[in-house]
A = this chain, B = another copy of it.
């Protein structure tokens, strides 16, 4: 659907907007997100595109069919950490993880 496609591109652009790499000095791209299942696929797709790979090529690097890659990028399922690591390792991207918590916030009901 047309609308659907536009929505997705918006979200990819939002990713781009979050580039935090020091301009020129280091050659590092950095994307940071609130971890949501819905956005993980976009991350994979975005990085794959930067690597100029097709789904089939990425699949070969990992050892799976292109259909798997499609499924991952389209968030058709929940995903395990292992799968995430496998994909981004193939893309030579470093995956970080951070936890933020407000110290006082928590109440036991």
Binding site for B on A (CB under 8 A): 27-37, 40, 43, 47, 50-53, 57, 78-82, 84-85, 88, 91-106, 108
A93 to chain B, nearest CB (A): 4
- Copies per complex? 2
By beta carbon, the residue of chain B nearest A94 is B100
Q: Are B92 and A35 in contact (CB under 8 A)?
A: no
A37 to chain B, nearest CB (A): 5
User: Which B residues touch A96, using CB under 8 A?
Assistant: 32-35, 97-100
By beta carbon, the residue of chain B nearest A32 is B98
User: Which B residues touch A100, using CB under 8 A?
Assistant: 28-30, 93-94, 96
User: Which B residues touch A37, using CB under 8 A?
Assistant: 81-82, 85
